[in-house]
Amino acid sequence: MSRFPFCATGDSPQNIFKFYVFRFQIASAMHFISEKGILHLDLATRNVLLTHPHEVAKISDFGLSKFMSEIEPDEKFGSRGEEKYKFN
C-alpha cells in the first residue's frame, strides 16, 4: 500500500523527496509573509501553485489576507504568540 496514494507514480524516493520539498517551500513562504505582518487566512491546496518544469510551490490567492495590525486581538479565538486573533 502506498504511503502517498495521491502520487500517480507511487512511493519512489524521488516523489517522496519532492513531497517534502513542497512542504518546506510552503512553510517557508508562510513564514516569510508572517514576518512581513501578513496573515493569509485561506491556505489550502487549491491556493498552492506548482511551476513546471522547475517544480516550485507558490502561494496564491491573497484575497482574504490581512495585515496583523488590522486584526483586533480577542481571547476567544486562535493565537499567535501571546496575542489572540479572531479569524473570519
**Domain count along the chain:** 1
- Residue 3 forms part of a structural domain: no
- Residue 64 forms part of a structural domain: yes
- Residue 8 forms part of a structural domain: no
| Residue 66 to residue 69: CA distance in whole angstroms | 8
- Residue 44 forms part of a structural domain: yes
- Residue 54 forms part of a structural domain: yes
- Residue 6 forms part of a structural domain: no
pLDDT digits (tens, 9 = 90+) for 13-63: 888 888 899 999 999 999 999 999 998 888 999 999 999 888 899 999 998
Q: What is the CATH number of the domain that holds 26?
A: 1.10.510.10
- Asked whether the predicted pLDDT for residue 69 surpasses 90, the reply is no
Model-level pTM greater than 0.95?
no
| Residue 35 to residue 37: CA distance in whole angstroms | 5
- Residue 4 forms part of a structural domain: no
The range of the structural domain enclosing residue 40 comes to: 13-84
Residue 80 backbone phi and psi in degrees, to 5:
-135, 105
- Residue 5 forms part of a structural domain: no
